[in-house]
Every structure is written in structure tokens, then in C-alpha cells.
Structure 1
Amino acid sequence: MDRGSERDTPPGRGVGDTAAGRIPLAVVVVDRAGLVSHWSTGARRLFGVSREDAVGQPAADLLPVSGTLPEDPQDGPAPDAFDAWDAGPARDLETSLGGHTGYATTGRARLRPPPQTPDGERLDVLWWAYPLVGPGPARLLVLAADATRLRDERGYDDETAERISPGLARHTELPAPEELERRLPEILPNMGPGLSTRIVAQVLELGYPVLEFSQYDRVPVTPYWGVPRRPGRTRAEETAVPRQRAVAVVPAGAEQDLEYAAVRERLEFLNEVSSGIGSSLDLGETIREVTSAAVPRFADFAGTHLRAAVLAGEGFPDGPPDASTVMFRVWVEHNDEPGRWDDTVPVGEAFAFPEHTPFYKCMVTGEPVLVPRVTEELSERISGEFEKRDLRPLIRGRSLLIVPLKARNVVLGFMVLMRRPDRPQFDDMDRTTGAELAARAGLVLDNARMYTYQENVADTLQDSMLPQVTPRMPGCDIATRYLPGTRLGRIGGDWFDTIKLPGSRTALVVGDVMGHGLNSAAMMGQLRTAVQTMAAMETPPAQLLRNLDDLARRLGDTYLATCLYAVYDPIRGELTLANAGHIPPVLVRAEDGSSELLELPTGAPIGVGGVPFEVRRVKVAPGDRLVLCTDGLVEVRGSDIGEGLAALCESAAHPAASMDDACDTIIRALNTRGGRKDDVALLMARLNGIPDEHVAEWRLDAEPREVARARRLVRERLLQWGLSQAVETAELLVSEVVTNAVRHAESDRIGLRVVRTDALLFEVTDDEPALPAMLSAGPHDESGRGLRVVSRLAREWGASASGHRKTVWFEQTVTTGR
């Protein structure tokens, strides 16, 4: 009907000819605010207003629909867009039996012509108006026709034309009511199945549009698409039709018109489906869109089944399915009574379809399977293949069409489509339409599958790259947040890390490889591994960044990264920081709650080369908080980064009940700023420090007798701390490590330190830079077993060298008791 104003050969002539009802119609939908929401091509040609100029405009200014529009009184003045109204009497059809409270209204009006018509010639418009109820914004459906064309093209004289008026009738009062009901959607093209189905149901209740030639002679209005008649029919044959009440909806000679209309309807349906599916790359949402697109316009039941690999977002399925292929019923859509299908065909069920069923045939051949009508025998056979399932009442007598969902010539699944017995059976044209629907759906599903697969890969890689940070380190508490960017692919090069260092120290690292994607993530992984290795070797911060810069340039000259490396010493209450082009950290003072950006020597990004890195030391107090983040949190395109840094300082100083709450406060304050697309890494450390009374240090001489003294000093201090259960193991391990130091030390300087935190940390330092090695001692060897004992009994142990000195340390789990 949108294209119904083509001036081709007219489909018929004569007052009583059924073809007289085949006229071009304008189709308009008005929303609840009285504004035009749908304006067909026929409306543009009839009223001379384009769709762009009509949609969103007050309908009262465009339509000659008296007494039906908001704030449009029946007897009020005509809008400026029209000449004086010459509306015929409205013909209302009461619908109290139909359950609606409104009336369908008809009328006739003479309008000022559109600009393209000859001067002085006014339009003679017939109109039908249907009030709409239910969900959605649609309030009024208006159909309108040009009575002048009835007179000019169909040969009516002025007297006959004046007697033609719009009317309403029960479709059951007209010839072939089932055909009328089936063809009614053709009046409503391009509206989508949801809206058009609701409108069709209400039109059938409110009254079918007809042309009245007399009180008893009514011709139903059917779409005229402006296509030629079947060749061979003469004008004499057309005019010989007797003037009597129509007895057939489809006039002789109009079969080609109807076939063309049917093809057009299917093409429009497929176009609407194509535009309605794939709106999201979410696999679940795409499945629902694909299934719902078929009901109720094409079928009464639709069930989508997919292979397990597709549903899981895994790689592309290998090869064709077979009898062992597991299919998941992922979605079901129908217009039967609620709950009818739920128990028998539940969503989420997984099973392999039995052989000798039409479902299996479609699955393995990749071709549509059409069963015009499911007979009693076939329903018995299908139901018998499914244990504890009585499908017979659901499928018996229905028309069945099974179409494969394919991509790249591989079957991903299939869709089961059924029509109730009261609807026309699926035919060959429906099979073609269903196959095309499935082909488009298969491509959309495969796109969603590939996106899901890529997201899973990216998420897995990102998760493997990010560390599992321990919330408590010696002398400090840690909290972190990571937010992937909003760009497609999401994976980026931001990272953070915490590394345990000798002497109860902790290295705090945050970095950002420039760019996104797998290359940036791979580079980030290499840099992070390098930082961990060098930190464990106690590489000073400035030298660590220098080594990292050299590594990045060896890996390639296309990579740049920023990095901030900080070492916290909880015993000395000191931060040592070095920066390579990264945004500065924020230090929140516990004493007064103030916050400040630490001024650090900026340095050049990693990968630039040839730029020195400098170190700054900052004294901190117990309870101070250090906040490190990547620029994705504070930098927004189009805004000054200074604004983001100021917001970071302000939000970091906000009081919070816990470290996690403090992180959430920062994220809420800065992540709501519009335009953020980059990754965000946030690391916060509360610098608790270690009290002096929890640290004990002694200096030992490089003599064998000092081993016994070391055992005694450790025993006394552990008893003082109330850790009697740890004394025996601690004495043994300290004895082994001090013995090695005495044996290999080159001077008389041996240090012993015990630190109490969540665990007991023991450190023995001497001036021999060579790191100890664990040896394989034989049964008769007198030495070589000390480090094996330490490795077996200590929770952790290690050794590091700095300058001309080395430190051997081990941790012991704290056990209380006296």
C-alpha cells in the first residue's frame, strides 16, 4: 500500500466489480501525542507532503480526519493547511462486543490540492480512522484514498462517484472472510510484525474498510499495488461484469497482482527482519531477536537450536553435525497460550536429535525440510523418538518447516517453524522465504559467536596478565581495581603489580603500554615479567627503569610504555620512587587528610632511550595512603588532564571505611566523566609501617660461637612477643643460616634481624656477595644440608645481593601461645 499510487493499468471497472475495492491507500499512524509516527509513500503522493516533513508533525495539520484527533473538535475550524471542510457524515461502528471502548470512524472531505496538482482542482478524499489501544505509542490508524481516481480511472460518472462513500463492515459479512483476514496485513507494510499484528487484530474488531455504493452494496478495500493485469484480458471482458454485489475478493485477472503482492510482502518481511536482528553483538540477545522475528508474521511457533560450540562462544565448529552432535534449545517463541510449550520443549535443554526425524535430516543435509501437514502417523513417529515427551498434541495437524542456520557453509544449528492448522500451510515460497530468513540469521549469529569468542579470548588473556594481588603485604594493605576500556576488543596494555622484596619492603608498580590489542597486551606481559625479575634481584628503581628501557628497545622500536616504580620500606617509613613518563601518584596524609600530587622527575617513556631516570625519596607516616593509576582514569578526550588529576586528589582524600570503599569512591568520582574509552588500572596502598617494638636487630661476629648466641637472642625475643610455639623451629633455621654466614663471611660484619608482621621474617646479612646454592649432600657429607632444611621448614625463603653484601631471608608462620 505504500507504493499503491503507481498509475499503471487500472485493475478493473464497474461499480459492482470486486476490483473496484482495489484502490491506492495512504497509511498513517498517529501517536498518543497527536503526532504522525508513520507516513507511507501513498500518503506522500495523496497529500503532497514528504515523509521527512510529516513524521513528528501534528496530525491535525495534515489529515482530514474530523473529530478523531487530539484537540480536534468535530465542529471546529479547519486547519490552515486545508480549505473549508466538506466532510460527509461519519459512519461509526460500535465495538462494545469486541472489548474496545472506541469507535472506527469514516468520512469524506474536499481538500486544497497539493502543489503538484492543477490549480483549482481540489482533492476528494475518503478516509477511515481506527482508534488503537494497547502497549506502545500508536493511538490512531488512518487510511485514506483519492475518490477522484475512482472517478477518472474506473469510469464513474459524477452521480455514481458522489454515491461512493467509505464504510465499515464485519469482515465475516463479506465474501471469503478468511482471505480478507489473511490479506489485511498487506495494507500495513513496513511497520514491523509486532505493531502490524496488533493493528490487524483491532481492525478486524472495529470493522473492515469497504466502499459503499449503496446501503446494501459494499466492496471490501484491498491493496492495489499498481501492477499490470494478467495479459490477454480485454477491456470488453472487464466492462461486461454485471453490476451486482461482489462475490469474490480476488477479481478475475488479478492473480498476477496478488502473486506480486505476496512476493513483495515476503521481501518486506525479510527486509524488516534484517533490520531488526543483529542490533547487538551479544549472542544471547541476537538469539532472541532471530527467534522472535518469525512470530507471528511468518509462523506461530519458532524454536532455535544451536551447537554447543556456538553457544559457548568457542571456535568455529569443525565439520558437519552428525547423530552424536549435541544441540541446545536456546530460545522458543510462540503465540499460543502461555506455558503450553514450556514443559515439553524447555529452553536450555541439550540433546542429540534422533535419526529418521525431519530435524536430523535438516541438520545433516543443511537444507530446509518442509512438512505441509504433520499427520497422525508422523506425529506418533516424531514423538516416539523423544523419551518421556508427548509431542503429539503440540505438532499434530500443524504445518512444519525446519530451516538450517548456516555460516561459511557449516551448519551452526536450525530453526523449527510451525503454523497452526487454521493458517495456510507452508508452501514452496514459504520454504524459500524461511531459507532466506535462516541464511540471514545464520550470518548474524556467527558474527555474535565470533565476537563472543574474541571477547572470551581477550578476557582470558587479560585475566592471565593481571596479577592476583595479595591484600596484605608486610607493613601495608593493598587494594586494586581494573576496568577494561570501552573500545571493541577491550584488551589493553595497562597493568599493576605488588612485589615482595627483602627487608619487609614492597615494590608498587603501575604501567601502561601505549595502544590496544593483542600486541600491546603481549608487550605488557613481557615488561611486567621483567619488572618482577629485576625487583626480586633488588635492582634500584632508577636502574630498573633503565634496564626496562633497554629491553623495550630491543623488543622493537614501535613500543612505548609509561611506568611508575615505588619501593616502600615500612621499617624506615620511606618511599623511593622513579618515574618513566607516567602520571604522578597521589599521597594522602593520615594526619590531616590532605592529599597531594607527588612531584617526581618525569623521565621519558620506556622505549624512548637515552634519557636518565632519577629517584625521589619521600618520608611517610603510618596510615598514609599512596594512590597510583593509569591515565585512563584521569584523561578524557577534549578535557584538560589537570582537571582529572585534581578530581583524583579530591576523591582520594575522601574518608572511607575500608580500602575497597576508597577505591570505589575514586572510580565513581572519575569513571562517570563522559568520553572515557581507555583501560583503567588503580592501585592503592595504605602504608601502615612496622612499629619499632616489632623489629629486633643484632650484630654478630664471624665466629662459630656466635651461632649459639644467635639462637639465644631469637628465643628470648620470641618469648617476649608471646610466640613460644615458634621458638624451636626458629632456633633451628637461624642456626643453619648464621652458620653459613660465619663459614663464608670475609669480614666480621654479620647482621641478624627479626621482623614481626603477619609472619616472622628472619634476615641474615654478610659481606660475601655470592648467593648461596642448594647442594645435593650425600649420606656421609658433613655439610650441604642447611638450605634444604630451611626450604623444608620455612614458609618462604630467598637470597638477594646488593653491592658487596648479600642477605639470606626466610619467613615462618606465626603461631601464638605461651
Structure 2
Amino acid sequence: MDRGIERDAPPSRGAGNGATERATSGRVQLAVVVVDREGLVSHWSTGARRLFGAAREEAIGRPAADLLPVSGALPEAAEVTPYGAYTAYDDLGPDLESSLDGRLNFPAAGRARLTVPGDDRSDVLWWAYPLVGPGRERLLVLAADADGLRRQDPDGTGPDGMGCERIAPGFALHTDFPGAEELAGRLPEILPSMSVGESSRIVAQILELGYPVLEFSQNDRVPVTPDWGVPRRAERRARRERAARAAVLGLPAPEERPEESADLEYAAVREHLEFLNEVSGRIGTSLDLSRTIVEVSKAVVPRFTDVAGTYLREQVVAGEGFPDGVPDTTTMWHRVALEHTDEPGRWDDVVPVGEAMPFPAHTPFFQCMTTGEPVLVPRISEEMGHAIASQFEKRDIRPLITHRSMLVVPLKARHVVLGFMILLRHPERPVFNDMDRVTGAELAARAGLVLDNARMYTFQESVAETLQDSMLPHIPPRMAGCDIATRYLPGTLLGRVGGDWFDSVKLPGARTALVVGDVMGHGLNSAAMMGQLRTAVQTMAALDLPPAQLLRNLDDLAQRLGDTYLATCLYAVYDPIASELHLANAGHIPPVLVRAEDGRSELLDLPTGAPIGVGGVPFESMRVRVEPGDRLVMCTDGLVEMRGEDIGVGLATLCESAAHPAASMDDACDTIIRALNTRGGRKDDVALLMARLNGIGPEDVTEWRVARDPVQVGRARAVVREQLHDWGLDRLADIAELLAGELVTNALRHSQGRPVELRLVRGDTLLCEVDDDDHELPTLLNAGPADEFGRGLRLVSTLAREWGASRTSTGKTVWFELTLPRR
């Protein structure tokens, strides 16, 4: 394979007026020899074998002075060595022996007359580079056959029309000619059997010392470009065609020299490596599993195969954990991709994508997936085609597979088979061979790794989404006296778990607690802390603590959990009966209140406070009057804060978008998200909670005080029935009267001295609350036939839609709800 670069070579710097540019390149076959610090040959290329007549096995480890025709290394008189007679032709450059002693610290070039037994005398051009560094290499010698250059010109002249005797080796800095960077990129190819580290170090020194050139005159220099003598693909194809024509005519096949065979084998290997490198660059551009599967299929068709079908295990397709155990005849395999060069629809109707099926033990597919090794079938026979087709009910796939060459390669990761690819070639195409099997195995290994990365990402993404969904509450759209809508946006696609949260908690007196918080940081640690703080807020809210006291307790908890626990939190309690908000802030951005009367929006000026976890800082609360229809917008700073932008800009945009009229609460949230999320650059999570404060009118609330007298239980039942009749809820009168009587009875029994309070609230449900001054919460009991107590709460639990109890500052509240009948 030709590795040269054809380029116009300009004259060197300092050229005379007669210098002219040449449309040629010094494209020659180079012999490459490396000499170690002991003066022994450590690298001997195929070109060196051709030029000097010594095999690699004979040359490695031999003294370089016995092998190389470097000027000055041997006496001027001819001296016969085991590998030929070398005679110094001129005295260009220092001698080789001095370079082996470490005294050569600059490049040298020369020309020598070479005589090898059995061959004619020929000229050899050579370039020598001293090497420094930690390795054992101390000298690099490049050599070329000058007669080869003469044979390129029928008239025996060089590229400049002068005799080849004028050709001499020399050096040029890489700035002496154009295209130096491209040529430098090709330099590692002169050391094909060395490691990447060794060749990179040597090439760096070559570029520093000077690029090898051919000098045709004092002024004209042409950079040397290596040519390995490997025919191009077109030449190899022509050779195959000549061999085919000879076979048709009954003539003997053209002889192929061993050198050509080696070159062809080397070219074939390079071609397969280039294919693998190209495929590797085309797959894995995305962590999306389905897209990766399509990339793998398209990468091999049609260059490597004509049909490529990809099958994956059921667990991989489902995004579950890593599949366990060796596949068997019960393992389900999903056909996830099919790429082919046949006419459209020919395969799609017979073997559609998405089909799942097991594979019997007698098939090559089962052998591949159980052994984890490629399976090569040069030609699918009629018998094998019938055996494979037998598993496809009501479909005959024999015309699609019979007489085709097949290669089945496993898609493995961490020694587990995730799937396999079925590769088929048309009958007229060369069958898969052993080199194709190796190439297919390497291709499958790379594809398997890419697929496993995509599978793991899909699995982790699913786990993250599940974790985040489980940690965020599912808030009902309607609470007592208010409507609620929420939104959560992850910060990045790779980090769907964050520390932002929102919540709402039902409180006594038909009130609702609204919470938005933001744990500092990202990832699982922040999510774990968020879960702890959210649980603590729910617990303390159920105790009906005032907002400032709740934040104080939350701050104490965060300090006990660790000094790295920091979060901001905004806590608000909405009382729909009193039309009032009671708020406290712990380092959070202020909420926005949108007035229903005129559509005006404003940031509530709250005492900011310090973030949760700082400690030693007091928290303050404030009360804000609201009217029915007002909207409260609470969010985390990820929505309004943008890197490189003042947060005031985001807050102003929040106020403006929140005031925009919308048909529903969800539409209002979407308007805010669109206005703030399209600016770009957002990296943080976003939690958004919007509440429309509808309020509960005085006509929907009734309260009574019940004296501490058992006779008052009957009166309480009567007033409940009467009020429900006035509200037109007679269908609930019997149940409400019964359950209210049980709660009042318990309250009177445990009251310490203050009268019991009974309240009925008509909203989306019928709420009944009973307050007393006893702080001990009631519990459900299993009452036996002879027990006098314990049946009241069991009755409430059975008949009510929902019930509960919570402590208050003066005692406790026990409540139940009943579903309103449809009108």
C-alpha cells in the first residue's frame, strides 16, 4: 500500500537563481535499520533484507559494522564479509564506528557501492540519525537503492535530466519544503514493527535533526517519502483478474514472488486494520442504546457484509441489570436491527425488527452465544438452511440464506454475551475466511463494549429517574382552598438526580404547608440529603410548628447529620379561611405573588435568613394577606440563576412570566419554564411550585364550642345534621353525624378543662375537625366483645374517606373527610 505523498518540492533555502520547482517526490523503498548501544542490529526491516540480502533472523544481534555500507565504517579497499563486499564510494559523513561509541551527535548521510554475492554491484544511499533517550536504540539508519531511482528513468537520467550519479542523500529542516506537517504525520510508518512509544520518540528526533532528502544538484532537494512497494488495491485487483483470465484460458497462473506474497499479506492486514479503525470511529457517537445498535449495523454493510442482523438478550433490551448465567435454549433474543443491500422489503416482512425468539441448540447461533466465539459457515448448505428455517413458523427464509456465506460473532462485555450479529454475504461474493473471522471478532468486541456502555448508561439513567421520582412527592392538584401545579427539571442528562425538592402538607384548620428546598451540590449525596430533609419537614409540619420554628429545628437536624449538609428552604403556610400566608425563609430566593385583582406580580420581601446547616442564625417569619385567586410561585435558584448573568435579570423574568395570563395552572408553569429555560447555559436542577389561593368563604365554614358535659354529644350531632341540611348535603348527614359524635365523645373524655371545638368546612370535600386541650394523640385499638372503649376510631377509619390527628400548640386536632356527592 503506497504511503507516499506526491507533492511539488521547492528548492531549498538559499537556492540560486537557476533553481526551479520540481513536480516530483523522492518516493523510494527504504530499508530501516536500528542499532543498539552495543553496536548490534536491533531492528531489520523487510526493505533491509531486499537491499542487503540478509534475512532478519541473520541480521538481528549482529554487529552493524558487518552489515551496513556506511562510508568510513570499513577500509577503502574492498573487504568481504559474510553478507557481501562493501567498498566506500565517497567520504560523506562521519563513520559508523564513532557513532556507535556515542560520539555522533548530528545526522550523517552518504553513498556506498554495494556488492552482494549473486547480484550486480549497486549504489546505496543512506541516512544515519543518532538517537538519545531512555531506550536501547542509539542509531537509526535509512537506506535506499540508487539503482532503483535510475531504473525509474529509461534514459538513465534523474528527475532533473542529469545522470543519476548526481543523486546524493542529504537533510533538510522541515521548514525547507511545503506540506511538512503532513509528511511528519507519515514518518511513524517507517518504523512499522515498533511500538507506538518507541516510534514516536524516534520520529520526534528525526524531525528535530532534519528530514531526509535527495539532492539532484547543489540547489535542488526533494523530500524522501517512504514507499513500501505494496501494490495499490487497483493493482491487486488487476493481478487477481489476470489470474482469473489465465484460469479461463487454461494457462498457468502468473507467478507471484515471495516478496509480493508478503506484501499482499501485509496490505490485507493493513486493510482490515483500517476497516476496524473506520468502524470504531463510526460507532459509539451516542450513549443512546437504539442509536448505537443502528450505528453498528450500518458500519459493516456493505463494506464487510451484505446482511447484518443484530440480536440482544431480553434483559439488555429492557434496560435491566446485567444478564446472569450462560444463555440456553429458553433465552429470548430480540432482533433489534437489520441492515441489508437486498431490494427493499425482502427481509423486513420475513424477519421483522422487534421480534423475540429463542434459538435451538443445533444452530450456529446457539453455539456462538454459549461459547462466546465466532462461528464461520463458508456456505450455508440446503440442509443447514432447512434446519435454520424450521424455527420460523409460516415463513420460509431459505431463499434468503441458502448458499450464502455466514459469520456469527458474539457481542460480549465483561465475559458475558449480550447478543450476537449474523453476517451474510451474497453467493457471488468471496466467502468469509479466517481473517474475516478475526476481523469480525474484533469488530464484535468493540461493538460489544460500546453497546454495554450504552446499556449501562440507559440502566443508570432509568435508576436515576426512578430514584428521583420516588423522592419527589406526587402532590394532588387540589388541596383545601388552593390548586397546585409543580415542575421538576434535572440539571444535566448525565445527572438526573439532584437535591431540589417541593412538597405540600395538609395541616389542621384546612391549612396547607407549601415547601420548596434546594440542597447544595449534585448527585446521589445531594439526593440522599434532600430525602432526609424532606422527611423531616413533613414530620415537623404535621406537628403544626410555626414556620420559623420549623426552620430552626431543621437547621439543628442538618448540623447533627454533618457539617457538609447545607440547603436553602422556603416554608409557607396558607390559611384559606383567614386568607393569609405565613412564611419563613432560610437562604432561599423569595417567592413571587401574583395579584388576581390587577395581574400585578411582586417579589415578597421576606427576611432571608441563613441556609439550613449554617447554625447559630435566627429565623424570622412574616404574614401576608392574600385574596382569592392570587397565585404564589416558589422555585429554586436553578430556574433564575445563569452563569455570567446577574440573578436580578432572572428574577425579573420570573415576575414577568408569572404574571402572564394562562388557561390553567399547568399552562402557567409551562410559560414560566419556557421563558427562563430557553436562555441556555442552565446546569442546575429546577423545582417549581405554583399555588392558586382560592380561599374558603365564611359561608362554607361553621364552628361550635361544646361544653365539657356528656349531654352535649347529642347536641353536637344535631347541629352537624342541621348544617348539612342547610348546605344541601343531606346524603352525608347520617355518616357525618355518627362520626362527629364519636370524635366529640373522645374529646370530652380526654379534655383537661377547655371546651371542645367542632368545625365543619365545605370545600372539595366535607372536613370535620374536633379540637381539645389534650396533647396525646389517639390510636386505633382492637376492641373485644367485652371492651367498653376502642370502637370509635375504628368506625371513623372504616367510614371516612380520610382521617388523621395532629398536635397543636394548645392540644390536638382529630379530623376526618367525606367525599361530597356528585351534583
TM-superposed CA distance for 1:816, in Å, is 5.8
- State whether residues 563 and 582 of structure 1, in contact with CA within 8 Å, keep that contact through their aligned partners in structure 2: yes
User: Partner residue of 2:7?
Assistant: 46
Work out whether 1:458 is the aligned partner of 2:464. yes
- State whether residues 764 and 807 of structure 1, in contact with CA within 8 Å, keep that contact through their aligned partners in structure 2: yes
User: Relative to 1, partners in 2 of residues 1:715 and 1:431: Cα closer, same or farther, differing over 3 Å?
Assistant: same
Give the secondary-structure state (helix, strand or coil) at the position aligned to 2:521. Answer: strand
User: Relative to 1, partners in 2 of residues 1:229 and 1:710: Cα closer, same or farther, differing over 3 Å?
Assistant: closer
Alignment partner of 1:578 out of 576, 584, 588: 584
User: Partner residue of 1:227?
Assistant: 228
Work out whether 1:651 is the aligned partner of 2:654. no
TM-superposed CA distance for 1:711, in Å, is 1.9
TM-superposed CA distance for 1:423, in Å, is 1.4
- State whether residues 344 and 391 of structure 1, in contact with CA within 8 Å, keep that contact through their aligned partners in structure 2: yes
User: Partner residue of 1:323?
Assistant: 329
Work out whether 1:815 is the aligned partner of 2:815. no
Select between 632-641 and 500-509 the one with higher mean Cα deviation.
Answer: 632-641
Give the secondary-structure state (helix, strand or coil) at the position aligned to 1:577. Answer: strand
TM-superposed CA distance for 1:748, in Å, is 4.8
TM-superposed CA distance for 1:773, in Å, is 3.3
User: Relative to 1, partners in 2 of residues 1:604 and 1:47: Cα closer, same or farther, differing over 3 Å?
Assistant: farther
Give the secondary-structure state (helix, strand or coil) at the position aligned to 1:254. Answer: helix
What amino acid sits opposite 1:814 in the alignment? L
User: Partner residue of 2:269?
Assistant: 263
User: Relative to 1, partners in 2 of residues 1:428 and 1:715: Cα closer, same or farther, differing over 3 Å?
Assistant: same
TM-superposed CA distance for 1:752, in Å, is 1.6
User: Relative to 1, partners in 2 of residues 1:773 and 1:258: Cα closer, same or farther, differing over 3 Å?
Assistant: closer
TM-score by length of 2: 0.71
Gaps of 5+ in 2: 26-146, 161-224, 232-245
TM-superposed CA distance for 1:160, in Å, is 14
- State whether residues 309 and 423 of structure 2, in contact with CA within 8 Å, keep that contact through their aligned partners in structure 1: yes
Distance (whole Å) between structure 2 residues aligned to residue 815 and residue 317 of structure 1: 52
TM-superposed CA distance for 1:776, in Å, is 3.4
Give CA deviations for 1:366-393 in whole Å, capped at 9, x if unaligned: 1111111222232223223444332221
The 5 Å alignment of 1:486-497 reads 486-497=492-503
- State whether residues 772 and 813 of structure 2, in contact with CA within 8 Å, keep that contact through their aligned partners in structure 1: yes
User: Partner residue of 2:480?
Assistant: 474
The 5 Å alignment of 1:714-729 reads 714-729=720-735
Distance (whole Å) between structure 1 residues aligned to residue 766 and residue 403 of structure 2: 79
Alignment partner of 2:744 out of 714, 730, 738: 738
TM-superposed CA distance for 1:487, in Å, is 4.9
The 5 Å alignment of 1:297-308 reads 297-308=303-314
- State whether residues 8 and 24 of structure 2, in contact with CA within 8 Å, keep that contact through their aligned partners in structure 1: no
User: Relative to 1, partners in 2 of residues 1:229 and 1:656: Cα closer, same or farther, differing over 3 Å?
Assistant: closer
Alignment partner of 1:534 out of 540, 543, 560: 540
Give CA deviations for 1:474-511 in whole Å, capped at 9, x if unaligned: 10000011111115232111111111111110010111
Work out whether 1:156 is the aligned partner of 2:154. yes
What amino acid sits opposite 1:339 in the alignment? G
- State whether residues 468 and 496 of structure 2, in contact with CA within 8 Å, keep that contact through their aligned partners in structure 1: no
Distance (whole Å) between structure 1 residues aligned to residue 611 and residue 254 of structure 2: 80
Distance (whole Å) between structure 2 residues aligned to residue 563 and residue 154 of structure 1: 84
The 5 Å alignment of 1:745-784 reads 745-784=751-790
Distance (whole Å) between structure 1 residues aligned to residue 435 and residue 359 of structure 2: 27
User: Partner residue of 1:172?
Assistant: none
Give the secondary-structure state (helix, strand or coil) at the position aligned to 1:423. Answer: coil
TM-superposed CA distance for 1:450, in Å, is 0.9
- State whether residues 600 and 616 of structure 1, in contact with CA within 8 Å, keep that contact through their aligned partners in structure 2: yes
- State whether residues 47 and 113 of structure 1, in contact with CA within 8 Å, keep that contact through their aligned partners in structure 2: no
What amino acid sits opposite 1:549 in the alignment? D
- State whether residues 302 and 333 of structure 1, in contact with CA within 8 Å, keep that contact through their aligned partners in structure 2: yes
Alignment partner of 1:120 out of 20, 30, 51: 20
Distance (whole Å) between structure 1 residues aligned to residue 8 and residue 460 of structure 2: 52
Give CA deviations for 1:136-161 in whole Å, capped at 9, x if unaligned: xxxxxxxxxxxxx9996523349999
User: Partner residue of 2:618?
Assistant: 612
Give CA deviations for 1:542-590 in whole Å, capped at 9, x if unaligned: 1211221222222222221111111000000000111111111111111
Distance (whole Å) between structure 2 residues aligned to residue 418 and residue 114 of structure 1: 55
Distance (whole Å) between structure 1 residues aligned to residue 606 and residue 158 of structure 2: 95
TM-superposed CA distance for 1:225, in Å, is 8.8
User: Relative to 1, partners in 2 of residues 1:47 and 1:795: Cα closer, same or farther, differing over 3 Å?
Assistant: farther
User: Partner residue of 2:633?
Assistant: 627
What amino acid sits opposite 1:441 in the alignment? A
User: Partner residue of 2:681?
Assistant: 675
Distance (whole Å) between structure 2 residues aligned to residue 344 and residue 403 of structure 1: 22
- The structure with the larger Rg is 2
Select between 361-370 and 114-123 the one with higher mean Cα deviation.
Answer: 114-123
Alignment partner of 1:415 out of 407, 415, 421: 421
User: Relative to 1, partners in 2 of residues 1:265 and 1:249: Cα closer, same or farther, differing over 3 Å?
Assistant: farther
TM-score by length of 1: 0.72
User: Partner residue of 1:712?
Assistant: 718
Compute the RMSD of aligned alpha carbons. 2.8
Give CA deviations for 1:379-420 in whole Å, capped at 9, x if unaligned: 223223444332221111211111111111211111111111
Alignment partner of 2:646 out of 619, 640, 644: 640
What amino acid sits opposite 1:226 in the alignment? D
Distance (whole Å) between structure 2 residues aligned to residue 543 and residue 603 of structure 1: 13
Distance (whole Å) between structure 2 residues aligned to residue 229 and residue 701 of structure 1: 109
- State whether residues 230 and 267 of structure 2, in contact with CA within 8 Å, keep that contact through their aligned partners in structure 1: no
User: Partner residue of 1:600?
Assistant: 606
User: Partner residue of 1:4?
Assistant: 3
User: Partner residue of 1:64?
Assistant: none
User: Relative to 1, partners in 2 of residues 1:333 and 1:508: Cα closer, same or farther, differing over 3 Å?
Assistant: same
Distance (whole Å) between structure 1 residues aligned to residue 774 and residue 322 of structure 2: 59
Gaps of 5+ in 1: 6-41, 49-111, 126-148, 163-223, 231-244
Q: What is the number of residues matched between the two proteins?
A: 616
Distance (whole Å) between structure 2 residues aligned to residue 610 and residue 311 of structure 1: 53
TM-superposed CA distance for 1:702, in Å, is 1.7
Distance (whole Å) between structure 2 residues aligned to residue 289 and residue 225 of structure 1: 36
User: Partner residue of 1:664?
Assistant: 670
User: Relative to 1, partners in 2 of residues 1:426 and 1:700: Cα closer, same or farther, differing over 3 Å?
Assistant: same
- State whether residues 496 and 682 of structure 1, in contact with CA within 8 Å, keep that contact through their aligned partners in structure 2: yes
- State whether residues 368 and 402 of structure 1, in contact with CA within 8 Å, keep that contact through their aligned partners in structure 2: yes
- State whether residues 363 and 413 of structure 1, in contact with CA within 8 Å, keep that contact through their aligned partners in structure 2: yes
Give the secondary-structure state (helix, strand or coil) at the position aligned to 2:761. Answer: strand
Give the secondary-structure state (helix, strand or coil) at the position aligned to 2:7. Answer: helix
Distance (whole Å) between structure 1 residues aligned to residue 634 and residue 703 of structure 2: 33
User: Relative to 1, partners in 2 of residues 1:480 and 1:250: Cα closer, same or farther, differing over 3 Å?
Assistant: farther
Give CA deviations for 1:108-149 in whole Å, capped at 9, x if unaligned: xxxx88999993144279xxxxxxxxxxxxxxxxxxxxxxx9
Distance (whole Å) between structure 2 residues aligned to residue 366 and residue 116 of structure 1: 65
Distance (whole Å) between structure 2 residues aligned to residue 282 and residue 419 of structure 1: 29
User: Partner residue of 1:502?
Assistant: 508
- State whether residues 8 and 22 of structure 2, in contact with CA within 8 Å, keep that contact through their aligned partners in structure 1: no
Alignment partner of 2:431 out of 425, 435, 438: 425
- State whether residues 723 and 816 of structure 1, in contact with CA within 8 Å, keep that contact through their aligned partners in structure 2: no
Give the secondary-structure state (helix, strand or coil) at the position aligned to 1:123. Answer: coil
Give CA deviations for 1:651-683 in whole Å, capped at 9, x if unaligned: 111111110110000000001111101111100
- State whether residues 374 and 398 of structure 1, in contact with CA within 8 Å, keep that contact through their aligned partners in structure 2: yes
Distance (whole Å) between structure 1 residues aligned to residue 749 and residue 21 of structure 2: 119
User: Partner residue of 2:220?
Assistant: none
- State whether residues 150 and 157 of structure 2, in contact with CA within 8 Å, keep that contact through their aligned partners in structure 1: no
Give CA deviations for 1:590-622 in whole Å, capped at 9, x if unaligned: 111111111111111111212111111111110
User: Relative to 1, partners in 2 of residues 1:782 and 1:124: Cα closer, same or farther, differing over 3 Å?
Assistant: closer
- State whether residues 485 and 492 of structure 1, in contact with CA within 8 Å, keep that contact through their aligned partners in structure 2: yes
User: Relative to 1, partners in 2 of residues 1:464 and 1:816: Cα closer, same or farther, differing over 3 Å?
Assistant: closer
Distance (whole Å) between structure 2 residues aligned to residue 816 and residue 284 of structure 1: 48
Distance (whole Å) between structure 2 residues aligned to residue 124 and residue 443 of structure 1: 46
TM-superposed CA distance for 1:749, in Å, is 2.2
Work out whether 1:352 is the aligned partner of 2:358. yes
Distance (whole Å) between structure 1 residues aligned to residue 746 and residue 752 of structure 2: 12
- State whether residues 304 and 331 of structure 1, in contact with CA within 8 Å, keep that contact through their aligned partners in structure 2: yes
TM-superposed CA distance for 1:800, in Å, is 2.0
Tell me the percent identity. Answer: 69
- State whether residues 715 and 731 of structure 1, in contact with CA within 8 Å, keep that contact through their aligned partners in structure 2: yes
What amino acid sits opposite 1:445 in the alignment? L
